Structure 1
């Protein structure tokens, strides 16, 4: 079984990502952590008991990794094009306790398992060979924390709570079928749209806000 772990704003720079989330939610999201193995860093915001928001970008001060970065971040021209077109909430991550079973038969879409060890413990993450977003972001990235729950309790809690996630897609039936085949619990609602675009409704101390 897969379930929503976090939603991801993929940004050309952390400053731009934080400013965008502030404009949408009225919340300043604090720094989270660096990812030395991927040459990236993030800001993190708790959105519930086991769900959070990640703002992620390339860390210009970190060495380039020896493999493709996750979330399509090596293609900065594409990241910038999406950003400038208003597609900033670009993906989501689903968690599992058995990543090998999830990837069996789905590696061409989800990628291959990569093992990481960080200050927060060991985990596995599925990354396509070229580092691109799975199915251009319509499919989730997959994480397996090897039996540990997500560390949302340690994240900043500004009173924001995720209400729903919606995906607009030109082929909604295809995406819905994939979600079913993966066994995702409570996946994003998928509707027809001209191009791939996520919208998240988030309850904040400033009222109900939309993050895109």
Structure 2
């Protein structure tokens, strides 16, 4: 039987420095250094949110060669109005092949990936796009090296819930049911002329804070999201 759970949430940014600063200003905690993804030409930093749950800040690695395919998470085609944003989330599954087949939403091909000693399989659209604009999760299955959250320092932060907003919420609900998802993810309807977005409610040492797709201004003097 297919079973899936929330694995991590993904913040995309023009650079790791900007993404990490958004997290620091919003949550009051700085993410830890992660590593590089050789196949994608990207790198990341991470923040522990639970036993098998974390936040990932990811950006193009300026020191890595251009990959032969579009990068994941729409990093090659960023939204200029939201340079730093909570872009999508990842669901961990016990059978990625069965879950990808069962999903009524096309999730792309199942690709092997690695970062240091970590190895996993993940669903990736060939064009690097985000299924249902990031409201539907990518699927991941860890194959070797354990889970990244086990290597992270305690942050004092925990994910309370993740919310999605989409003009067709039933599409998201049907997809999650098809992969046997078990977790606190809520999806609400948006008017058809509005962009889908995510909001993560996170318990921090200073109280509950929100990360969202409203992003983070490149102007350090401008008001910040969250």
Equivalent pairs counted in the alignment come to: 207
Distance 1:96 1:171, change over 3 A: same
Q: In 2, distance between residues paired with 1:110 and 1:168?
A: 19
TM-score when scaled to structure 1?
A: 0.90
Preserved CA contact (<8 Å) 1:179 1:187: no
Among candidates 8, 13, 16, match of residue 14 of structure 1: 16
Aligned to 1:89: 86
How big is the shift at 1:148? 6.0
What residue number does 1:59 align with? 61
1:149 Cα deviation after fit: 4.3
Aligned-partner Cα distance in 2 for 1:135–1:191: 13
Superposed displacement of residue 82, structure 1: 3.0
Pair 1:202-2:202 in alignment: yes
Q: How does 1:142-161 map to 2 (within 5 A)?
A: 142-146=139-143, 149-161=146-158
Match of 2:189 in 1: 192
Shift of 1:122: 2.4
Corresponding position of 1:115: 112
Kept in 2, the 8 Å contact 1:138–1:175? The answer is yes
**Partner Cα separation in structure 1 for residue 174 and residue 12 of structure 2:** 25
Q: Which residue of structure 2 aligns with residue 211 of structure 1?
A: 211
Deviating above 4 A after TM superposition, structure 1's stretches of 4 or more consecutive aligned residues are none
Task: Check conservation: 2:35, 2:116, Cα contact below 8 A.
Answer: no
Which has the larger displacement, 112-121 or 42-51? 112-121
Q: Distance in 2 between matches of 1:166 and 1:180?
A: 16
Alpha-carbon distance in structure 1 between the residues aligned to 2:150 and 2:100? 28
Aligned to 1:41: 43
Structure number with higher helix proportion: 1
| C-alpha contact (below 8 Å) 1:109/1:135 kept by paired residues | no
Per-residue deviation, 1:11: 1.1
In structure 2, the CA distance between the partners of 1:74 and 1:94, relative to structure 1 (3 Å rule), is: same
Distance 1:37 1:43 in 2: 17
Cα distance in 2, alignment partners of residues 28 and 122 from structure 1: 25
Give the Cα separation in 2 of the matches to 1:189 and 1:107: 18
CA contact (8 A) 2:70 2:126 kept: yes
Distance 1:146 1:46 in 2: 20
Query: How big is the shift at 1:120?
Result: 2.0
Q: Please identify, of 51-60 and 100-109, the stretch whose mean Cα deviation from structure 2 is larger.
A: 100-109
Q: 1-side partners of 2:74 and 2:146: how far apart?
A: 25
| TM-score normalized by the length of structure 2 | 0.85
SS at structure 1 position matched to 2:26: helix
Distance (whole Å) between structure 2 residues aligned to residue 51 and residue 210 of structure 1: 17
1:81 is paired with a residue of what secondary structure? coil
